[in-house]
Structure 1
Amino acid sequence: MAQSSSGDKEYIFTVAALVREVKETLEGRYNSIAVVGEISRIVIGQSGHAYFDLKDEHAVVSCVMFASSLRRLQFRPEEGIRVVVYGRATMYDKRGQFQLNLTDMRPEGAGALAIAFEQLKKKLMGMGYFDAARKRVLPKYPRAVGIVTSPDAAALHDMLKVSRRRAPSIDIIIYPTLVQGRTAADNIAGMLKLANERREVDVIITGRGGGSIEDLWAFNEEVVAEAIFMSDIPVVSAVGHETDVTIADFVADVRAATPSQAAELVFPDLASAAQLVLSAHKRMLISIENRIGMLRERFLRADKQQLKKIFKRRIDEAHVELDHLSTALSRGMERAIVRAREHRSMLVGKLELLNPLGVLKRGYAIASQNGTILKSVADVDRNTSVDIRLHDGTIRTTPSEKA
């Protein structure tokens, strides 16, 4: 403490005390901030720490990112790339220099994102993530389909519309997730892992509608690529429009140009499949009838005079030969009919498996009020009876409360 010329008392800082107080003020007020700018004069030391300036047209600030954070980045920081950095403001005590200590960094703008995209694409390609040999064929008739997307997305509505038209009896399980924003990639990866842990679906669709490269960026993150690569369940990527291409598209077992096309690939047309079974059965019966008719006509066209001569010369041999032919023909027809019946039974069995009532027989039910199917507890009117349809009939009940 010192006395000023006016007699007022004033506080005199030491250099260390001033730096410490400014540092504490900065760290207390700017403990978690995001700053956008262009990387300049970047140096990565032997320790693995990155040192660089972040600048715009008006100012420059020093930045440091320690090796542990640098290793977690999804791209390699380079000179001139525009980025958004995350961290805290502080002071470097020894120089009294203002700087940012960073924990994360994301490319900003189409140019920077394009560079990051190519960097990750090259890295994953070298690791075998895109190899055609590891990609699996989608199941032709899945029992259940998982969809990893936003529950509010138009893409989900499009996929559900296709599923209702093509295969209304196939179960759908929605794994809700963010599809845009800083935490979206981790959210998507988490839902892909959850679907694999639960083992309740045969194929997974993940995606969203169209947008800018920034909007779709979650599907270009390494954490999402890793989750798709590690999935034991086949994955269909359906991100954006036909011209949009993401890292997820390269890793997935199948890439669909749009969410609607993904649904067309995954959900079989059960009505057409049933018609194919019936048509095959009809063709089989016609083939058997034609064969029998041909044999009958061939026998009737035989030369009766020639038959008489043969009967006179070799009546015994003819009888034996005729018996052999008759027996062989009879056995052959019996085998053909047995095979036809077995094949028909198999086709009918497959048709029954595709019957929407099969879902109800497995213990599921359809609840409705006034002819409207209930999809949520929120849709239930407590003053109106509820019809619950089971596979062998309908139960009418009145709700007492919502759980």
Structure 2
Amino acid sequence: MQLFDPLSGSAPLSVSIFALYVREFLESNDILQNVWIHGEVSNCKTYPSGHCYFTLKEGDAQLLCVFFKSARQRTGAPSLRDGMALAVNGRVSFYERDGKLQFYVDAVEPLGEGALFQRFEQLKARLIAEGLFDTERKRPLPAQPAVLGIVTSLQAAALRDMLRVLRLRYPLVRVLLAPALVQGADAPDSIAAAIDLLNEQGEAEVIIVGRGGGSIEELWAFNEEVVARAIARSRIPIISGVGHETDFTIADFVADHRASTPTAAATAAVPDLAAWRADLIEKQEQLVDLMQERLLDLHGQMAYAQRDLQRLSPQSLIERRRQQLDEASERLHTQMSHLQNLRKERLRGIALQLHSLSPLLTIARGYAVVRREEDQQIITSVQQVQTGEKLIVQVQDGQLAVRVEP
């Protein structure tokens, strides 16, 4: 493509023409189209597409780099991460859409770990040896904190996110904000001072120390020893919520609890009232079920007890005795009636026998019965009477009074 001189004309250039000029100028330079550069990887991100974007830094200078998936696969390059010391080969161009000068990587050569990563590992090893990362020294978080301390920047978007989460999850908590710088040379001392201030004030039951995501340099304040010492000496449990989920800082290792993001830190710091309400409703339903079950059980027990009382009741006993008396009376009546009938039959038999032996039958055949009037003794012989005694002669249809004559 033919280069042109945009400064030769008198009319102002459009942005697109000037950007095109810059890109053509860079791509026409043979040195810039095949050059090796070394530095330390920072803010490295690999997207689902497989393309890798990172910043190559050295001192105060930095260069935006793009390592496309095809180049990575062709060269068999290792996975890149923040803190690596790297030599990269490629070309420089200008990305018109974003107005960025970018280095398009064709090959990489790892050179070991960068200076920042070495500082990180050295401090980490020293603090591990002192026991500052030990699980035994980490304290549990309060279940229902009344006062929560936050150490972050007043201008941070992370602060708004944390306050929003706290308001939605647990509006009962009171927030004490200890503003601090979270980036730059003065940030470590500012963060440590804010932690100490909340400990002096003494109301907070838990402290969140955090900021949003950024490059390794932007998060470096949380890798400084002064911050680690402030977290370690805090009497109040501390939650570290720095950067994104993949970011790890020294503060994360020293803190009592590490959250992947500031929002996750706010979530971990307080309970969820909505979950409480749901749990309360569930327990209320369980309680109602248990009460109903208990009432049904008691109702059954009461029915059994009522039947037992009825069975053991004097009234029930009286009724049974009455029934037994009725049955006994009936049996007695039956037995007496039977006995009476037997006696009647026996009496009838005796009467028949008496009748068959009755003197009246004899009298009816023409005989008479003679009795002494005085004592009604039956006279069967003349020797039994004396002259002049009065006798009664019983005949069939009556009696005759007679006197004994000589």
What is the TM-score when the length of structure 1 is the normalising length? 0.48
Larger radius of gyration: 2
What is the TM-score when the length of structure 2 is the normalising length? 0.47
